[in-house]
Amino acid sequence: MELVDRYLQAVKFWLPKAQSEDIIAELSEDIRSQIEEKEGELGRQLNDTEVARILKQVGPPVFVANRFLPQRYLIGPVLFPIYKFVLKIATLGYLIPWVLVWIGLMTFSESYRAEHYSGSLFRAIGSLWSSLWFAAFISVGVVTIVFAVLERTQALAGPLQNWDPHKLPPVRDPNRIPRSSSITEFIVGVLFLIWWVDTFSSQTVLRFTAIQITLAPVWRYFFWGFLFLSVVNVALAAANLFHPQWSRLRAGVRLASDCAGSVLFCWLLKSNFLASITAPSVEASKTLAITNAINWWDTKMFPAAIVICVVIAASDVYRIIRIKETETRFTPGVAAAVL
Partner 1 sequence: MVCVVHYMTHSGDGMMNAFENLRLEMRRGCLVLAVLASLRSEQYGYTLRKTLNDQAMEIDEGTLYPLLRRLESQGLLVSQWREEEKRNKRFYRLSPEGKKVLKQLLTEWDGMSSSLNEILKEQHHGAC
Choice between 25 and 125, CB closer to partner 1? 25
Using CB under 8 A, which of 10, 14, 20, 34 touches partner 1? 34
Using CB under 8 A, which of 64, 236, 266, 307 touches partner 1? 64
- Nearest approach in angstroms of CB 21 to partner 1 is 11
Residue 25 binds partner 1, judged by CB under 8 A: yes
- Nearest approach in angstroms of CB 63 to partner 1 is 7
Residues 178-207 that bind partner 1 (CB under 8 A): none
- Nearest approach in angstroms of CB 4 to partner 1 is 13
* Secondary structure of the chain in HEC code, one letter for each residue: CHHHHHHHHHHHHCCCHHHHHHHHHHHHHHHHHHHHHHHHHHCCCCCHHHHHHHHHHHCCHHHHHHHHCCCCCCCCCCCHHHHHHHHHHHHHHHHHHHHHHHHHHHHHCHHHHHHHCCCCHHHHHHHHHHHHHHHHHHHHHHHHHHHHHHHHHCCCHHHHHCCCHHHCCCCCCCCECCHHHHHHHHHHHHHHHHHHHHHHCCCCEEECCCCEEEECCCHHHHHHHHHHHHHHHHHHHHHHHHCCECCHHHHHHHHHHHHHHHHHHHHHHHCCCEEEEECCCCCHHHHHHHHHHHHHHHHHCHHHHHHHHHHHHHHHHHHHHHHHHHHHHHCHHHHHHHC
Residue 325 binds partner 1, judged by CB under 8 A: no
Using CB under 8 A, which of 1, 5, 6, 29 touches partner 1? 29
Identify which range of 60-68, 130-138, 230-238, 247-255 contacts partner 1 by CB under 8 A: 60-68
Residue 68 binds partner 1, judged by CB under 8 A: yes
Choice between 26 and 173, CB closer to partner 1? 26
- Nearest approach in angstroms of CB 271 to partner 1 is 56
Residue 33 binds partner 1, judged by CB under 8 A: yes
Choice between 28 and 175, CB closer to partner 1? 28
- Nearest approach in angstroms of CB 84 to partner 1 is 23
Using CB under 8 A, which of 5, 21, 26, 327 touches partner 1? 26
Identify which range of 27-35, 93-101, 154-162, 314-322 contacts partner 1 by CB under 8 A: 27-35
Binding site for partner 1 (CB under 8 A): 23, 25-27, 29-34, 57-59, 63-64, 67-68
